[in-house]
Structure 1
Amino acid sequence: ISYMFGKGVVQQACQMLGIELVIRAHQVVQDGYEMMAGRRLITVFSAPNYCGQFTNAAAIVCLDEDLE
């Protein structure tokens, strides 16, 4: 099951949860990462050339102890 939602829902959820950012994965994105919803939602994908079917890059997220 998949659900689609817009920028407003992401911003509302972040505000309700007291967070600034959602980082999600498990979706191929061409550059390895994609920022959406006013930079409050990031999709990260770390498998380059996924299954030999895509020509995507890979990316990782690095955070310090302050989550920056």
Structure 2
Amino acid sequence: EVDFDEVDLSLAVFKDCDLLKANFIRSILKKTDFRSAYNYAIDPELNKMEKARFSKASLEGLLMKYNLDLEL
């Protein structure tokens, strides 16, 4: 478990990272690369995420709070 609260992770690359139980709150995630990361739950409304990169297969991690039934 890790808290990324109020940190600047601009341009960071989460290569093959398991982000289960990682908390992102009020963080700067500009151009951050999450394309090979997995098990994340990030609220775009609580973080600055301009140009952050994600894989299509992991987009559900951005929508978890809405409790949607996604078929990817």
TM-score, with structure 1 as normaliser: 0.29
Comparing both structures, which one devotes a greater share of its residues to helix? 1
Rg comparison, structure with higher value: 1
Comparing both structures, which one devotes a greater share of its residues to strand? 1
